Every structure is written in C-alpha cells, then in structure tokens.
A = this chain, B = another copy of it.
Amino acid sequence: MEDIILEAAKEKLRRKNYKLTMPRLSVIRYLAREKGHPDIKDLFEGIRAEKNGIGMATVYRTVDLLLELGIIKAITLKGHYLRYELNWPDDHHHHLVCKRCGHVTEFGNCYFQSICREIELVTRFKIEEHALEAYGLCPQCLPAGKDYSTENM
C-alpha cells in the first residue's frame, strides 16, 4: 500500500531532480501511518518525536514541495490550519468534521459532477476541481437517543 505512494513519489521527485531525503520520507510515512489529517504542527511534532532533529522550516519546505508535486494534498477546514493527506490516485472524497471533538471522517458519495455542467453554463466558469466539507457531530459526541434528522442547513 504505502509502497505505491513511495514509488510514485520517488519518480516524481527524480523527474525534477529532487532527492528523496529523510525529511521527505518522514512526512510521507507519517501521513501514510496517521489517518487523522494532521496539520503542520502535528507533522513537526510527530516526526520530531520519532526522529529527533527535524526543524520547523524543513517541514514547511517539505510540505510545499510535496504539494507542488501532487504527492500530498491540503485540505482547508473552517477556521483551522491547513491539514494534509496523501494524494492517492483516483481517490475522490470529501470531509466530515465533528464540531465538538474535531475528528475528521471521509465520505465518497459526491454527486457534484452531475450538476457541474449546469453551474458552468450559468456562471460561464470552467470548473476544474471542488471541495465539499460537512460539519456536524460524530457518533461519539452525539448525545445518545437523538435521531439523525437533517435541519438547519
């Protein structure tokens, strides 16, 4: 699993004459291991904990590079720092965020493509990508006994 990403990453780096160095490897490994959509500080602290000596500046530079090469993706959630995840091929999903504990879950059902052309005709934009985030309460934070009705959207 992780190997697919790693091989693809090596290839993308090589193609632009970048090296697969320890910090770069660490960031990819960390993201492959931690499914929790860490932010830049989580990355820094997590990597520093396992392998002392990495600097904050290096994490910023590494993340920028991996983003640019499409090896990782950034997700933007309401009022928080950017969070990062690996960019698996053909993995189209969105995020569901618990307003109480902050836990992030992924969901795949996305019917945006089906209305995309309609919006393109109305706005005359050419749409290239999109992001959808839903906010609510996760099963753990949801008081027991309440049902799952949809309102206030």
Q: Could you list which residues of chain A lie within 8 angstroms of chain B, going by C-beta atoms? A: 74, 76-79, 82, 92, 96, 98-99, 105, 107, 109, 111-113, 115-139, 142, 146, 148, 150, 152-153
Q: How many protomers of this protein does the assembly include?
A: 2
A126 CB contacts on chain B under 8 angstroms: 136-137, 142, 146, 148
A107 CB contacts on chain B under 8 angstroms: 119, 122-123
A132 CB contacts on chain B under 8 angstroms: 112, 130-133
Secondary structure class of chain A's binding surface, majority of residues = mixed
Cα distance, A127 to B134, chains bound together (Å)? 7
Asked if B128 and A152 sit within 8 Å, CB to CB, the answer is yes
A121 CB contacts on chain B under 8 angstroms: 148
Asked if B96 and A125 sit within 8 Å, CB to CB, the answer is yes
CB distance from A82 to the nearest CB of B (A): 7
Cα distance, A127 to B115, chains bound together (Å)? 21
Closest to A132 in B: B132
Out of B78, B115, B117, B136, name the residue touching A111 (CB < 8 Å): B115
A153 CB contacts on chain B under 8 angstroms: 92, 112-113, 116, 127-130
Asked if B133 and A131 sit within 8 Å, CB to CB, the answer is yes
A-B contact pairs, 17 of them (CB 8 A): A74-B79, A76-B76, A79-B82, A96-B127, A111-B111, A117-B148, A117-B150, A120-B150, A124-B139, A124-B148, A125-B136, A128-B136, A128-B152, A129-B135, A129-B153, A130-B132, A130-B153
